[in-house]
Structure 1
Amino acid sequence: MTLPIESVLPELAKAFPAARVVIEAPPGAGKSTQLPLFLLQQGVADDGLIVMLQPRRVAALNIAHYLAKQLGESVGEQVGYTVRGDSKRSKATQLLIITEGVLVRWLQDDPELSGIGTLIFDEFHERNLHSDLSLALVIDALPLRPDLNLLIMSATLPAESLKVWLENYCDKVQVLRSEGRSYPVEYHYRPPSHVTQWLTELPKVVVEAFAVAEKGVLVFLPGVYEIQKVAGELSQRLRPATLILPLHGRIPLQQQRQVLKATDEKRIILATNIAETSLTLDGIDVVVDSGRERRAQYLPQYGLSQLVTQRIAKASATQRAGRAGRQQAGQCFRLWSRSDEHGFAEYAPPDVATQDLSALMLDVLRWGSQVKQLAWFSQPEPGHCAAAIDFLTSTGLLEHGQLTSKARQLELGGSDPRVLLVASAAKQLSEKQQATMACILATIEEPQSSIKSVDLAERTRGHFQQRNQFALWQQRWRYWLNYFG
């Protein structure tokens, strides 16, 4: 099957070596799958490892398995992956799918990125902290690697804006645009009777959507609480055997990958915005969009982050609706009125404008630079930078703008400095206390939604007792045990 991205691949090949290319391609174009395979199979990027960055772990694993399958191989041969705590690669690996935090650690250890010939920033429009930071560090290191091929791919951000920005730091920047591959999507607007009633009235819309779906329904919800509430309501409204599946970042990666596969049975997937991009969900022809998402909003005056449920941006609404038309004509039910869209922002703000920047600041300082000296597509929020400096100074990690010996003893690379400070202090505890602290730290990092107690000690006991069911929790628990050991 021919994919739209194939029309730009010959032109892309001409940009190598030392390619500086911005690729604008909507969902369904094949940029995450066909493009890296083209580079691999055609020998376009034979000057080193091809590394493609993904913003989410489940996307990295899913794409790696898909690409390996296209080659008739197992993951870890020509195509591998590396995410936090897990890696499958070998001497034969030529294409590696990684998460952006991994690249930050690699850059800190080896700014020249020895052995890597091509970097592909996929789904750059998601704009998480690691994507902006890793790209800023890569651009800063380009004088050391003028031969490095740099590709930035986005489904929604205008390519021209990225090109103009990148030309401040690179020569011969090119833009390539591809059409998407999608079928017509019919829109239905179902605004709630009152803005506060959207969650109460959403199950009724899902039942309506399920009745018209031929294959499956994908429902976008802000978070785990809403997923569980809607799942409970649907189980009462639909026949008992109806397949209702959750999809969010807290369920094990293997379970997430199983949800992505089509079944012969018509199903309902209740998902957070993890399903907006990168992932291909087979067997979906109807989308129900709550129009809401949950984001962390840092409050510098309190030194705390608050989870806020808010309206999505127009770009996200477009991405979500497109899921209904990836494989056939589809339908999208929206829990808002058409007139409400006038108040939607064009794009969601990047994480550097809304989140705690303490970990980012540590990485920048470890890099030997200052925030204002690096190349940012969006400048980090100055107030949040100031708050990060205050926090790092008050905890003894920063003195006169320089990292202290205490900071250099911490394992950095994107981890929350608060967690690292607790772990460092726990090294003075007894072996038994350290074992308990390993459980607590894993619970803080990978909380499981099925354990609802607000008491940390009780939650930690629950996680430990059910550890065989929680792969990510167990992974972090073993990491901290080794850290103390």
Structure 2
Amino acid sequence: MSPPEFPIDELLPQIRQSLSAHTRLVLEAPPGAGKTTRVPPALLDEPWLQGRRIIMLEPRRVAARAAARFMAAQRGEAVGATVGYRIRFDNQVSADTRIEVVTEGILTRMVQDDPGLEGVGAVIFDEFHERHLAADLGLALVLDVQSALREDLRIVVMSATLDGERLAGFLDAPRLSSAGRSFPVEIGHFPARREERLEHQVARAVAHALAAHPGDLLVFLPGQREIARVRQLLDGQIGDSGVDVLALHGELPVEEQARVLQPDAGARRRVVLATNVAESSVTLPGVRVVIDSGLAREPRFDPNSGFPRLDVVLVSQASADQRAGRAGRVASGWAYRLWPQSQRLEPQRRAEIGQVELAGLALELAAWGDPDLRFPHPPPAGALAAARELLHALGALEAATITDRGRRMLQLGTHPRIAAMLLAAADDSERALACDLAALLESRDPLRSRSDALADRWQALSAFRRNRLGGDASRSALAAIDQVARQWRRRMRCDTNSPADVPAHLLGDLLAHAWPDRIAHQHPTDPWRYQLANGRSARLMDDSVLFGEPWLVIAELRDEGRDARVLRGVPLDPQRLERDWATHFEETERVFWDDAARRISAVRERRFDRIVLDSRPLANPDRSQYAAALADAVRQLGLAALPWNEALRQWRARVRCLRVWCPELELPDLSDEALLAGIDTWLLPALAGKSRLDALSEDELANALRSLVSWPQRSRIDEVAPARIAVPSGLQRPIHYAFDDAAGEPVPPVLAVKLQELFGLADTPAIANGRVPLTLHLLSPGGRPLQVTGDLRGFWERTYPEVRKEMKGRYPRHPWPEDPWSATATHRAKPRGT
């Protein structure tokens, strides 16, 4: 079969030339240019490849199969010969395979299992603009392999819509672009009517397009649920019109996918309802019209379940343009957008690494042994720290090191929570049950009801296997779950079928290994409330079928402030909990600050993690623990609970101001945040032997705070920021210091002094080695403000004469000389009779 011509063909010589001279390349080409299926075969005979394999990462399973089959067909071979693919639960490669199309998790496993990538000459990242987390990780790993072990390894990053200049700079790689081949596409907007559901809007748009334009239609929808609703509506409207309505998504059987990707044998018109799998990588022949909902399901971290979830979100402008371009592949076309023309979309798709939970990434980094890999967008530090905390709880990490259990979890290629549960099964019967639970957790909910019992989902699956379907269950969803469960049993090498019936708590005994942080115990005084092992609390729904269970494991909850809401859970067997989680039960004596009682309490407690199971007062508590309890009290109540006096407040303000004015003094940070963070260092020793906060004296607090400053520094503080300053009257007057926490900077220091005490002084006094002039509050003899100024000379010259006229009659016993420059400063009134 002679291969068809593609726009990318004229760029192939430059691609080969670039990869002969460089080991990295960024290739930009629009959908339909042929990059996916033309570039890998074009590199097979390159000298630098030396007969080794080419691995091409394809983000989606549909696209991976389609690309491999197309390349194999062009060679007149079956898939698995020169060209093959590897995706989750499906492997079509052989010893002769030289081009392997793999999905994202497969690439990560290949690199982790063989860091030298022996026998691999090039790794190609297709559709990198989708910015999946696994693609970012794969690129980071392959870059590390290239820089440390395989300088000859070629890396090609391909994309249809991408900031290629930025990526080329990150990779230090040449950048090539293909113009592609596209016919004009007319863009129109087809907004919804008032309160119109999406499926009805789509059906109207399809009916209009079928009547107004030739060719097939491609309709972009967020997911399978929306595809099913639209398909049901269209089947009723155009079922007998000679138009085929087809679905295209990643969960379709392979045969149905292949049918959609081929033109209709009878030349019937087609309406293809697709997820964003049709945005790139796969080619749909005959499409002249695109109808775009502008929506997609993309992963986001779900704090309710602890897993990533698929949220319906607006697509980016780049994705919208790419979708519209599908209508101009064979001739001029039309694209209808189902949102108002005034609506603005984000320019590019956001990287998943900044939006999803990172437990899987953290485990991969620990297995690799280098947490500092180079990512196009680095993972957020907070999310990565939370992920590592979870991995510790699952037994996958010890300190920063991956455990043997963690390595086994990685090999399973699923979320660490699910992997931990699969590994916890005690025998084949439990292993088969764990495979069912893994499939249920990875799939969409098969029930239409609001039941909060996870056991109801498993029982529906069990009934489905016996050809019994409940009224609120989805047959298609259960069939998909059953298929995934069989695949998991093969992966786990479990030959035992799942039991037909099990007690609900057995499900919980397994699920506890996935959610050890959400093992929950019924509150002793409120049966609707549960205390969680992570310290939080949760409440059952009013119609909960879980009511009365003493122990639960909560698979999904919704944050609602003080108490979360249990959305899905399952009971636990207390005896097995004691056996499997023995190290989590402990008895301790605890001395702590009871904020409600405003005193120290001492109790003997029995706990499961942070769940208090029993608490009894201690008759003879260890008083050496009181100081730490009082320190905790200050953390809860704040520094205002301490016995501050004005002198100590001013000393602290002086130090804080000098950190800004004179950084060379290297004074410590005395902000509230810093003092609370370091409370064990400076305050804890002063609390020793005390059982009440009010037993701490002002002097003890002052000594504790001043202990943070060395003796030489204390001397310098008094020199450059004195508490008092001598004025011409011969007296010492206080300087008032303040720090503005909201602005993060000092307030100008204030000297409040009677005007007569400054006669003869021309210039404004300054502190901090002359860097900071004082703000003068010039007072009347009665102590009331006359003027606020930072320019004393200007006051004498311009303002004093007016002040003198006004004040001389009001305070006749005080001096008001015409010449304040030469007058004698005084704080006293004139003697009587003068």
User: Is contact 2:24-2:174 (8 Å) kept?
Assistant: yes
Matching residue of 1:238:
238
Distance 2:141 2:78 in 1: 32
Q: Is the 8 A contact 1:443 1:463 kept in 2?
A: no
Residues of 2 paired with 1:183 and 1:193: CA distance? 31
Q: Which residue number in structure 2 is paired with residue 101 of structure 1?
A: 105
Determine the C-alpha separation between the residues in 2 that align with 1:163 and 1:333. Answer: 34
> CA offset at residue 254 of structure 1?
2.9
- In the alignment, is residue 346 of structure 1 matched against residue 347 of structure 2? yes
**AA paired with 1:153?**
M
Is 1:48–1:117's contact at 8 Å kept on the other side of the alignment? yes
- Counterpart AA for 1:392: L
Q: Could you say which structure has the greater relative contact order, defined with CA pairs below 8 angstroms and 6 or more residues apart?
A: 1
Give the Cα–Cα distance (whole angstroms) in 2 for the partners of residues 239 and 317 of structure 1: 29
Q: Which residue of 2 aligns with 1:148?
A: 153
Q: For residues 217 and 96 of structure 2, what CA distance do their matches in structure 1 show? A: 40
Name the aligned partner's letter for residue 237 of structure 1. Answer: Q
The whole-number CA distance in structure 1 between the counterparts of 2:350 and 2:50 is 37
Answer yes or no: is 1:51 the counterpart of 2:55: yes
The alpha carbon displacement at 1:378 in A equals 1.2
5+ long unaligned stretches in structure 1: 168-172
Residue in 1 aligned with 2:391? 392
Is residue 298–residue 354 contact of structure 1 (8 Å, CA) maintained in 2?
Answer: yes
- Match of residue 437 from structure 1: 434
Between the aligned partners of 1:365 and 1:260, the Cα distance in structure 2 is 41
1:339 is paired with a residue whose SS is coil
Q: How many residues align?
A: 473
Query: C-alpha displacement at 1:319, in angstroms?
Result: 1.2
Contact 1:250 1:446 in 2 (8 A): no
* Shift in alpha-carbon separation, 1:459–1:145, aligned structure 2, 3 A: farther
Q: Is the 8 A contact 1:20 1:174 kept in 2?
A: yes
Q: 1:9 aligns with which of 12, 17, 25?
A: 12
Paired residues of 1:24 and 1:158 also in contact (CA < 8 A): no
Task: State the SS of the aligned residue for 1:421.
Answer: helix
Which residue does the alignment assign to 1:170?
A: none
Q: Give the C-alpha shift of residue 54 in structure 1.
A: 0.4
Check if 1:358 corresponds to 2:359.
yes
- Decide which of 316, 319, 331 is 2:319's aligned counterpart: 316
CA contact (8 A) 1:104 1:413 kept: no
The answer to whether 1:260 aligns with 2:256 is no
Distance 1:77 1:348, change over 3 A: same
Contact residue 250 and residue 447 of structure 1 kept, 8 A: no
- Name the larger-Rg structure: 2
Among residues 81, 93, 96, which one is paired with 1:77 in the alignment? 81
Q: 1:447 to 1:459 in 2, by over 3 A?
A: farther
Does 2:482 correspond to 1:479?
no
User: For residues 302 and 419 of structure 1, what CA distance do their matches in structure 2 show?
Assistant: 12
- Classify 1:463/1:252 alpha carbon distance in 2 versus 1 (closer, same or farther; 3 Å): farther
Stretch of structure 1 that moved more, 131-140 or 395-404:
395-404
**1:406 aligned partner, one-letter code:** R
* Change over 3 Å in CA distance of 1:448–1:285 after alignment to 2: farther
Q: Could you say what secondary structure the match of 2:179 adopts?
A: coil
The residue type equivalent to 1:333 in the other structure is: Y
Alpha-carbon distance between aligned partners in 2 of 1:484 and 1:444, rounded to the nearest angstrom: 21
> What CA deviation, in whole Å up to 9, does each residue of 1:1-60 have, x standing for no partner?
432212222122223345211111111111111212211256673341111110011111
Q: Structure 1 residues 269, 85: closer, same or farther in 2, change over 3 A?
A: same
With normalisation by structure 2, the TM-score equals: 0.54
Q: Deviations over 1:243-271 (max 9, x none)?
A: 21111222223322222211121111111
Determine the structure 2 residue equivalent to 1:380. 379
Q: Deviations over 1:61-108 (max 9, x none)?
A: 111110111111111111111112222222322212111211110111
Counterpart of 2:263 in 1: which secondary structure?
Answer: coil
Q: Which residue of structure 2 aligns with residue 181 of structure 1? A: 181
CA 1:41–1:230 in structure 2 vs 1: closer, same or farther (change >3 Å)?
A: same
The 1-side partners of 2:390 and 2:361 are apart by 13
Alpha-carbon distance in 2 for matches of 1:461, 1:271: 31
Does the aligned pair in 2 maintain the 1:8–1:178 contact within 8 Å? yes
Aligned residue in 2 for 1:121: 125
Q: Does 1:157 align with 2:162?
A: yes
How do 1:168-317 residues align onto structure 2 when only pairs under 5 Å count? 173-194=173-194, 197-240=197-240, 242-263=243-264, 264-299=267-302, 303-317=306-320
Q: Indicate how the Cα distance of structure 1 residues 116 and 413 shifts in structure 2: closer, same or farther if over 3 A, else same.
A: farther
Q: Is residue 333 from structure 1 mapped to residue 348 from structure 2 by the alignment?
A: no
Q: Decide whether the 8 Å contact of 2:85 with 2:102 is kept in 1.
A: yes
Q: Check whether the contact 2:297–2:310 (CA below 8 A) recurs between aligned residues.
A: yes
Deviation digits for residues 391-437 of structure 1, max 9, x if unmatched?
112223223222234323434364211111111111x14x3333333
- Aligned equivalents of 2:460 and 2:13: distance in 1? 55
- Aligned letter for 1:308? D
Which letter maps to 2:382?
G
1:281-330 CA-partner distances (Å, limit 9, x unpaired): 11211110011112222145974544322211001101111111112221
TM-score (norm. length: structure 1)? 0.90
Q: Hey, what's the Cα distance between the residues in 1 that align with 2:95 and 2:308?
A: 42
1:195–1:114 Cα change, 3 Å: farther
Post-superposition Cα deviations, 1:179-228, rounded to whole Å, max 9, x if no partner, equal 11111111111111348744442211121122234231111111122111
* Cα distance change on mapping 1:164 and 1:42 into 2, 3 Å: closer
Would the alpha carbon gap of residues 480 and 21 (structure 1) be closer, same or farther in structure 2, given more than 3 Å must change?
closer
Q: Distance in 2 between matches of 1:306 and 1:250?
A: 17
Cα deviation for residue 458 of structure 1 reads 3.6
Give me the whole-angstrom Cα distance separating, in 2, the residues matched to 1:392 and 1:137: 21
Instruction: State the Cα deviation string for residues 120-162 of structure 1 (Å, max 9, x = none).
Output: 1111111112110010011111120000111111111022111
Name 2:420's counterpart in structure 1. Answer: 421
The separation in 1 between residues aligned to 2:106 and 2:307, in whole angstroms, is 26
In structure 2, what is the Cα distance between the partners aligned to 1:365 and 1:54?
25
The letter for the 2-side match of 1:70 is Q
Amino acid at match of 1:318: D
Are the structure 2 counterparts of residues 57 and 464 from structure 1 closer, same or farther at C-alpha, using a change threshold of 3 Å?
Answer: farther
Q: Residues 438 and 485 of structure 2 are in contact (CA less than 8 Å); yes or no, is this contact kept in structure 1?
A: no
Cα distance in 2 for partners of 1:355, 1:484 equals: 35
Q: Secondary structure at the match of 2:43?
A: helix
**CA gap 1:207/1:460 in 2 versus in 1, 3 angstroms:** same
- Further displaced range: 7-16 or 351-360: 7-16
CA–CA separation in structure 1 for the residues paired with 2:221 and 2:19? 42
Farther-moved stretch of structure 1 (465-474 vs 195-204)? 465-474
2:32 is the counterpart of 1:32: no
> How far is 1:441 from its partner?
2.2
Judge conservation of contact 1:442–1:480 (CA < 8 Å) in 2: no
Q: Which has the higher helix share?
A: 1
Decide whether aligned partners of structure 1 residues 20 and 317 sit closer, same or farther in structure 2, where only a CA change above 3 A counts. Answer: same
1:82 aligned counterpart, secondary structure: strand
CA RMSD of aligned residues (A): 2.6
